[in-house]
Amino acid sequence: MATIEECRAALEKLSDNMQRAEGDARTAAALDRSVSCHITDLDVTFAGRMAGGRIHVHDTIQGPPREKAQIRLSMAGDDLVALVNGELNFAKAWGSGRVKLYAGVRDLLLLRKLL
């Protein structure tokens, strides 16, 4: 099971990858939205903001998100690490329910370019 530190590092790596995105993916990465990532097996939530092509984590809280972020992810820590490392296909993980992504329709259409 991934640790809180490993999950935080995976989010940092995802943020770095977003910073280097090009083309349509760069447009998606440039969204300015509140973000939360609930790690179900650790029952911890990373909350912050996606802005300037990066994810800025402002809080790590115990339990599910306290506020409804504009973009919300929910998954096990190992799945987060595997996704960011390219070992888990997002579409398959999302389709099987291993990864949950909640966002407005317009944001979902843009975010798919990142994946």
pLDDT tens track for 67-110: 999 999 999 999 999 999 999 998 899 999 999 999 999 888 87
4-111 to CATH, choices 1.20.140.150, 3.40.50.1480, 3.40.190.290, 3.30.1050.10: 3.30.1050.10
pLDDT tens digits for range 11-66:
999 999 888 888 777 777 788 999 999 999 999 999 999 998 899 999 999 999 98
- Whole-prediction pTM value? 0.91
How is the chain split into domains, by residue range?
A: 4-111
Find out whether 26 and 34 touch, Cβ atoms under 8 Å: no
Q: What is the DSSP string of 43-103?
A: TEEEEEEEETTEEEEEEEEESS-SS--SEEEEE-HHHHHHHHTTSS-HHHHHHHTSSEEE-
